[in-house]
Amino acid sequence: MSDQNIELSQVEKAAVLLMSLGESDAAQILKHMGPKEVQKIGQTMSELANIQRHQVEKVLDDFLVLVGDQTGLGLGADGYIRNMLREALGEEKAGSLIDRILLGGNTTGLDTLKWMESRAVADVIRYEHPQIQAIVISYLDPDQAADILANFDERVRLDIVLRVAALETVQPAALQELNDILERQFSGNQGAKSAVIGGVRTAADIMNFIDSSVETELMESIRDVDEDLANTIQDMMFVFDNLIDVDDRGIQVILREVESETLILALKGADPDMQDKVFNNMSSRAADMLKDDLEAKGPVRVSEVEVAQKEILAVARRLADNGEIALGGGGEQMV
């Protein structure tokens, strides 16, 4: 980031802002964030280097905040992060930025898993009964669940997804027992509640985040076991091209949340109608610039396109969950 013309990403701007506020204020903000946000911003903080003053000032201007001469950036960043998280989380809970943070008194054993790396979660449940594995996978966010499944072999993945699709509710006693098992490992103490988790919709959401090559293989395996279930999951899966069914206002809201480079990569693999949908919801100047960027980009790996498209889909689902947009197609019911 030594080049003063480099534009900071949104998450980098968030990291710069937090590091400029000071440990106490930043810690208070972190307390109101979810696992993914803390992990992503924390990781970005640890990677920031050579931040130019004009970049800091631009970030702070965006938030209408004035700063003094001392920013704290680039000087003992590791110590700063540790101190900030320690104040926010406590000494014992701030030991790891990724897999051992925010294990507070209101965090159940299952909630604890949301703060852990996917590989670590896979190791925790690897030797549990398959039904326990399915409950855990159903409880977590679909993208994290997909990453966890990637750590199992094909046979185990198939078994777990089939069990997830068959789940509807979990009795309080069963959920309490599972929490007790996990809390003995993570020192939590929160009681359990009855939960409606799992089901075909959950299985479809998880499938949306699984790597495309694995997804195809897994879907074929599900079809071999239960063709009707495979068809239902397929109908409920929301893929990038389904965004064409989102209304114009919804597309505009999504575009405001997406980095330009991510959009370019995603559109490289989109069909012309989907590209036109995006172009038509931008200003003429912005659309022309995007078209030029697409032409100049040249060939890109299919895997890069898939990652970018999944990132945009994650934004769309978040906005839909918050009630800011309505998703059409892909099995989404409209009323």
High-pLDDT (> 70) share of the chain, %: 73
Class of domain 240-321: mainly alpha
CATH code: domain 109-236 is 1.10.220.30
pLDDT for position 166: 87
Lowest-confidence segment of 117-126, 183-192, 238-247 by average pLDDT: 183-192
Is pLDDT at 59 greater than 50 in this prediction?
Answer: yes
CB atoms within 10 A of CB 245: 16
- Do the domains 10-94 and 240-321 sit in the same CATH topology, yes or no? yes
Choose the most confident range, by mean pLDDT, from 76-80, 91-95, 139-143: 139-143
Higher pLDDT, 277 or 46: 277
Mind giving me the DSSP string for 143-156? HHHHHHHTTS-HHH
Higher pLDDT, 284 or 194: 284
- What pLDDT, in 10s, does the model give residues 31-55? 777 766 777 777 777 777 677 777 7
pLDDT for position 186: 60
Beta-carbon contacts of residue 56 (< 8 Å; ≥ 6 apart): 16, 20, 67, 71, 73
Residue boundaries of the structural domains of the chain: 10-94, 109-236, 240-321
Is pLDDT at 286 greater than 80 in this prediction?
Answer: yes
- What pLDDT, in 10s, does the model give residues 129-140? 888 888 888 888
pLDDT for position 73: 43
Is pLDDT at 78 greater than 70 in this prediction?
Answer: no
pLDDT for position 85: 59
Q: Quick check: 330 and 236 in contact, CB under 8 A? A: yes
Q: Band of the pLDDT at 279, cuts 50, 70, 90? A: very high
Q: Which residues pair with 332 in a beta bridge?
A: 329
CB atoms within 10 A of CB 281: 19
Q: Band of the pLDDT at 332, cuts 50, 70, 90? A: very low
Lowest-confidence segment of 92-96, 237-241, 271-275 by average pLDDT: 92-96
pLDDT for position 5: 53
Give CA torsion, residues 119, 122, 124, 126, to 10 deg.
-140
Helix-helix angle 302-321:260-268, to 10 degrees:
120
Choose the most confident range, by mean pLDDT, from 49-58, 102-111, 156-165, 236-245: 156-165
Q: Band of the pLDDT at 158, cuts 50, 70, 90? A: very high
- What pLDDT, in 10s, does the model give residues 306-320? 888 888 888 887 888
Mind giving me the DSSP string for 190-216? PPP--B---SHHHHHHHHHHS-HHHHH
Q: Give the CATH architecture of domain 10-94.
A: Orthogonal Bundle (1.10)
Residue 276 token pair? 């036109």
DSSP 240: G
Is pLDDT at 146 greater than 60 in this prediction?
Answer: yes
Mean pLDDT of the region 61-86: 49
Q: Tell me which amino acid residue 128 is.
A: E
Residue 216 token pair? 């195809």
Q: Band of the pLDDT at 103, cuts 50, 70, 90? A: very low
